Amino acid sequence: MYPEALLALVCPDHPQATLGLESETRGDDGEIEHGRLRCPICHTAYPIEEGIVDFIGSQPLPRNLTQWINTMPVTAWGYERIWRSRALSILTGEPFGFDRELPLVTGLTAPERGGLYVDVASSSGLYARALDRAQGAAAGHVMAVDHARVMLQQARRMAHDERLRISCVRARAQALPLRAQSVAGAVMGASLNEIGAADVALREIRRVLRDDGRFVMMNLVRTESRVGRLIQRFFAIGDVRFWSLVALNDLLRTSGLHLRAQWRYRVVVFSVLRAKEIER
């Protein structure tokens, strides 16, 4: 993680407290590679190892087959290389590679405005890297948050390969260790379907998002085709959930988020949301 992240990070149990940095060692680019963050109220220490700050530790994760698969090193290595680079083209039935998807996401999020941008349930940090590249010279920072250490290790490695400054944070989407209204922009790429407790995660994003912030999400909705329904029922074995578009938008609304725009390509949906309704 980088020093730029320190102003936003908080103890999940005491979000009003500023975490203290202890015993840090830094890399040549200023990255805090080892050390710990400590809460001044409960004195809980959150370790920083290999550049990743850990707010989960040994706490048991939800019993979710998909989340368990995402903790495997082979999954982290192959996620972008084998599946993710082809996924949207397969799901939409039209050419939809990274050269189309990433400019769409960064264009809607507008990281050139500056501030903190967070890739929630980031996997290997695909969106985080795109945001950091698009932020350019703006005064801001990008953070990748995921529950799987192996995914964050891959995200950090790929960011280093591109000489990008992305802070990697191990935390649950349902308990973001971030100050309220500290985030200028948040993104999520299809993870809502598989993280469980989606309503809690969405309320957390609503909590940390600034009033003028943007949340851009890509996720999958229920298909209408017979073959597609069979495939989605298979993935449901791994606790992957597919909402109808109406049910998805109801979920977003009840989480306190305001839908500003939305595009659907078969089962793939891109949504732009705000924490506060914009006055017309």
pLDDT per residue over 143-177, tens digit each? 999 999 999 999 999 999 999 999 999 999 999 99
Q: Homologous superfamily of 52-274 in CATH?
A: Vaccinia Virus protein VP39 (3.40.50.150)
Calculate mean pLDDT across residues 213-240: 88
Band (93; pLDDT cuts 50, 70, 90): very high
| Domain extents in the chain | 52-274
Nearest to 182 by CA among 149, 223, 155, 213: 213
56 touches 170 (CB < 8 A): yes
> Which residues does residue 140 pair with via DSSP β-bridges, in sequence order?
115
CA distance 208 to 182: 6
Q: Are strands 45-49 and 52-54 parallel, antiparallel or unpaired?
A: antiparallel
Calculate mean pLDDT across residues 5-28: 94
pLDDT tens, position by position, 109-150: 999 999 999 999 999 999 999 999 999 888 999 999 999 999
Instruction: Extract the tokens encoding 24.
Output: 């840090």
pLDDT of amino acid 202: 98
Nearest to 275 by CA among 144, 182, 190, 145: 182
List alpha helices for the chain, DSSP H: 65-69, 73-78, 85-92, 98-109, 126-135, 149-161, 198-208, 226-236, 245-254
CA 122 to centroid of chain Cα atoms: 4
Burial class of residue 85 (count of CB atoms within 10 Å of its CB; 0-12, 13-18, 19+): middle
pLDDT tens, position by position, 42-83: 999 999 999 999 999 987 765 677 777 888 889 999 999 999
pLDDT of amino acid 108: 98
Residue 197 has pLDDT above 70, yes or no: yes
Residue 279 has pLDDT above 70, yes or no: no
The percentage of the chain sitting over the pLDDT mark of 90, rounded to a whole number, equals 82
Calculate mean pLDDT across residues 249-272: 97
pLDDT of amino acid 88: 96
